[in-house]
Amino acid sequence: MDAQQQKEFITQQALHLGFTEVGFSKAQFLADDAPRLESWLTAQHHGQMSYMANHFDLRLDPTKLVPGAKTVISLLYNYYPSATLDKSPKVAKYAYGQDYHHVVKAKLKLLLSTIRHKMGAIEGRAFVDSAPVLERSWASRSGLGWVGKNGNLINKHHGSFFFLAELIIDLPLPPDAISTAHCGTCNRCIEACPTQAIIKPTVVDGSKCISYFTIELKEQIPSSYQHQLQDWIFGCDICQDVCPWNKFAMPHQEPLFHPLPSLTNFSHHDWLEITDQVFKSTFKHSPIARAGLRGIRKNLQALGHHFPS
């Protein structure tokens, strides 16, 4: 099996596991990303996400994550729902079902195991938003899309409602062509962002993003932004919902991403009445667990809701 056949085998296996698209790039230092990342951090656009400033060198060099790395395999996994939960308060679509970290990583590990079974002792690691990896840069280099003006990876055929995942392996494989950008003169995402977090095309001030306020920020949301939350209590989809490329988004086929019954049935009253024990039990396998009940209550208070005494 030559390198091209190995690449085709990996692609077929990934698609069989449910991944939407697969791309390959050479594992090398991301020289173009270094100054951009440094500038973003220096401007404090990461807010209180201190982990973003850690492991600067690892984010740029895959060989520091996997010694001897030769190839970065980038993959897309669709999470676009068949129906939007048009109810208040709002939760981002990626959090409708079970935690993607576990769902997608299990498939990645199975893919890596399949590769090793077919091709021998290959060193590699699987990553799903859980390590210092510049996922969008690798996906773009692998031909899977471009970084849009809203900072999300956009794919011509699938829009942007997908998770990014990577396998970094020590097997040399032919790289794919780098994607070109296709946002053109469209500025819908920039104009639609209530908090003006998109400060210029492709640059997002994370410390102003609704997702940051509702998930990452542990203290009270600044009063100057509370009236701009538009009823979101976990994440935000505004900049993706207005993107014209998402007209191509198709419903996912992953049962584990179907909306949790709790999200489908929860009312305002339920969110206000929920106890810590019920919250932990209900959302233990959900991305919403990241915010914790304290965080959700903080967000509800910012929206003007009052808790029963």
Q: What's the order of all strands across the beta sheet hosting 162-169?
A: 21-26, 71-78, 162-169, 124-127
Determine the length of the chain. Answer: 309
Phi, psi angle pair for 265, to nearest 5°: -100, -15
Tokens of 193: 């962002």
Tokens of 169: 């392996």
> Computed from CA positions of residues 41, 42, 44, 50, in that sequence, does the dihedral angle turn out positive or negative?
positive
CA–CA distance, 57 with 53 (Å, rounded to integer): 10
Tokens of 280: 């932990």
- 129 labelled catalytic: yes
Q: Which of 61, 129, 170, 241 is flagged as catalytic? A: 129
Q: Where in the sequence numbering do the catalytic residues fall? A: 129
